[in-house]
Structure 1
Amino acid sequence: MIRRLAWYWLLPVAVVAWELATRSAQAAYFPPPSRIVARMYEMWFSGPYILTGEAVADLLPSLGRLFAGWAMACVAGVLIGVALGRSSWLSGLVEPLLHFGRSVPPVTLLPVFLVLFKIGTPMELAAIVYGVIWPVMINSMDGARHVDRRYIETGTVYRLDRRRRLLRIILPAAAPQIFAGLRLSVSLALIMMVISELVGSSEGVGHRLLEAQSQFDIPAMWAVIVLLGLLGIALNAAFLAVERALLGWHTSARAPGS
């Protein structure tokens, strides 16, 4: 509780210090927070229905690609990871390729995605999926591989078939590690969304950042950066809320004295 109150006091102090420092320095590339907030309001939140036309053209497509790419990567990563974790021969065959693939920086494959999909949403989705799938797949594989043998033996005693064993034993036991990979993937999806829009998009938050830089609109550039930071905080908080709701049994089981 004391630590939380300290953070509540620290944030306003940091913002005031930022404002005073930038105003005294008068650096062209570091505008004060008040100018950044005013530019954010002008760009995105001063419309007749809160959002401006610019916000609809930039924020909504970016969020759509972010969630679509993240969802596709999570579904594919969990399915492939659990299959690899429960099959030793398949894991031995594929795992070297998996570690090679995750070692390749996603940014280096953007030219390949541009050639395959051209400029547009398919290229951006491919970049997001490739950048996001690896932590989900690896955590799902490790979680499914290291399920307590006693759980599997209990399922055998009760003569559970493969489908019920997967749904009632393997996935619940691997869920904490799967969710750890999903949480990492949220921030990666945001990063890949911005990078893909910097390279191959005519709309979106990343494109707006590149446009502000080319026009030397420094407050707009910082407005995009701050918006991305706030979006990352919001996505992380939403994911933690979902994780607590779905994995409350795991948290209570690990609590001291439980």
Structure 2
Amino acid sequence: MTGPETVRRKDVRATRTGRTALRVLTVAGVPALLVISWQLYSTVSENFYVPAPGRVARAFAETWFSERLLDDVLPSLARLLAGYALAAAAGVGLGVAIGLSPRLRAAAEPVLEFFRAIPPPVLVPLIMLLAGIGDGTKVLVIASGCVWPILLNTVEGVRALDEVLSDTCRMYGVRDLSRLRHLVLPGAGPQIMAGLRQALSIGIILMVISEMFASSSGLGFTIVLFQRGFQIPEMWSGILLLGLLGYVLALLLRRLERRVLSWHHGRGVGRA
């Protein structure tokens, strides 16, 4: 006989299966629709510059599962991560200092607004003129664009700290590093993570742009090389690889955010 407990377990399994199927459909539905539309367009069109997804997939496997992985992809990732880490350290450090000091904030705000208004790609030729064309310059280019969203979001996060908590820390004598660790950084954490998310996409853009200028390796250089050689499927495969890298890095950053801000998302640390 089928008891109530067995029926309940079946209902739970069916519910979980339905949720999993819906989640997979939600995640894969739009990409699948885009690929189908791409295939239909390439079938009815004779446009040489829009190859079929199958040709791009073959070019992807042949191009990036080879020595180019070591010669182009890994150096690009290394420069991106180095520039991003440099921007994160500078942005958070300066942002905390500026946010905690009203006088420093009043003095620095016009300068920050001025540099924020300058599009980061415009500075690429200038930085290369001043610092050369080596890997260090590319890291500096990435850092120069990534630092602003991190810095400005950190300043706003520190400014928005709960005054009651600040007064409580002051009353209990929590100062200096303890106050920074237990109040300032956790309180500004959501804003800091928002700046880090914004900076990631800027970093990928600047990574590609910096490698298009006077470079002999990297994803940006290779994509331009394919374009100039009319290797269109290979060029599209490089663009696809950039999108996949951005997606994976964004997922990793999201997981880091959930762990760091587990208290903010209403989860326990053990379940983050």
| TM-score scaled by length of structure 1 | 0.92
* Partner amino acid, structure 1, of 2:143: V
1:152 to 132, 147, 166: 166
Whether contact under 8 Å (1:81, 1:141) holds in the other structure is: yes
- Which residue of 67, 73, 80 maps to 1:53? 67
User: What is the CA distance between 1:5 and its match in structure 2?
Assistant: 2.5
Distance 1:112 1:60 in 2: 26
Cross-structure match for 1:49: none
SS in 1 for 2:265: helix
Identity %: 39
Q: What is the letter of the counterpart of residue 138 of structure 2?
A: E
Aligned residues: 247
- 1:198 alignment partner, one of 196, 208, 212: 212
Describe the SS at the equivalent of 1:250: coil
2:32 corresponds to 1:12:
yes
Q: CA deviation at 1:3?
A: 6.4
Change (3 A) 1:200 1:123: farther
Partner residue of 2:148?
A: 134
Query: d(CA) in 1 for partners of 2:214 and 2:88?
Result: 23
CA displacement 1:58-98 (0-9 Å, x = unmatched): 00100000000000000100000111000010111111001
Please tell me the root mean square deviation across aligned C-alpha atoms, in Å: 1.4
Gaps in structure 2 of 5+ consecutive residues: 1-18, 268-272
- TM, length-normalised to structure 2: 0.87
Q: Distance in 2 between matches of 1:250 and 1:21?
A: 45
- Take 2:98 and 2:76, find their aligned partners in 1: how far apart are those partners? 32
Per the TM alignment, residue 20 of structure 1 is displaced from its structure 2 partner at its CA by 2.3
- Deviation of residue 13 (structure 1)? 3.4
1:93 and 2:107 aligned? yes
Distance 1:43 1:86 in 2: 50
Aligned to 1:230: 244
Change (3 A) 1:119 1:35: same
Q: In 2, are the aligned partners of 1:123 and 1:200 still within 8 Å (CA)?
A: no
2:16 aligns to what? none
3-state secondary structure, aligned to 1:159:
coil
Unaligned runs of 5+ in 1: 46-51, 254-258
In structure 2, C-alpha distance between the alignment counterparts of 1:15 and 1:93, rounded to whole Å? 51
